[in-house]
Structure 1
């Protein structure tokens, strides 16, 4: 089984919203073969605490426009690594240090990557 078309669409919407808030290194993995709880992990890097918050807010706003709301959020107090669970899509917004330390790309690197087709606003 692979990620649903709806999950891929939501990942692209979320990725564009993140890019619009100047997130970088956007990568999405189809984890549906390995996990029963979600289809896609989207990972984005933000430069600092405030930008992490802005990226999270932008993603939530963009997905709300598609009638999708988060089921839970973790890490939003520290703003270093925020995980937003939208069921079919789990978004990780991380500062560079956390992203390097936890290396999600290494952990999920065997999973197929999803082409995001994101336009960077820089």
Structure 2
């Protein structure tokens, strides 16, 4: 069973909000076949604690506007790895260093990647456009 349309819509909403705050490497994974608790993991990263906080704030505001209520929030104060659980979608906003270390994409590599719209993918993390 694939992720529901509602989960996909919420993931795209969260991805747009994260991208608007210059999140890096925003990806969505369909974890519906592997987990019963949620359909989509959305993963985004920021370059510092302040940016992680700004991304979290933007995602929370966008999700609230969409009518989604957070069931759980963890790690928001620390600004290193925030987890926002909206039931159908779990948003992980990580400091770039923590994202490399924990490598959630590797842990969930057997789950399909959800194609996000162009404006919802964030930056690629490169500082030099010639790279």
The ranges of structure 1 where at least 4 consecutive aligned residues each deviate by more than 4 angstroms after the TM superposition are none
- Map 1:24-63; keep pairs closer than 5 Å: 24-63=24-63
Q: Is 1:5 aligned to residue 22 of structure 2?
A: no
Which is greater in Rg?
2
Deviations 1:2-57 (A, max 9, x none): 10011001100100000000101001000000000000000001111111111001
Per mean C-alpha deviation after superposition, the further-off stretch among 34-43 and 112-121 is 112-121
1:20 aligns with 20
State the superposition RMSD in angstroms. Answer: 1.3
> Where do 5+ consecutive residues of structure 2 fail to align?
124-131
Does the Cα contact within 8 Å between 1:3 and 1:30 map onto a contact in 2? yes
Which structure 2 residues correspond to residues 83-98 of structure 1 after superposition, within 5 A? 83-98=83-98
- TM-score w.r.t. length of structure 2: 0.89
Cα deviation, residue 118, structure 1: 3.8
The aligned length equals 122
Q: Please, which runs of 5 or more residues in structure 1 have no aligned partner?
A: none
**Secondary structure at the counterpart of residue 119 of structure 2:** coil
Q: CA deviation at 1:119?
A: 1.1
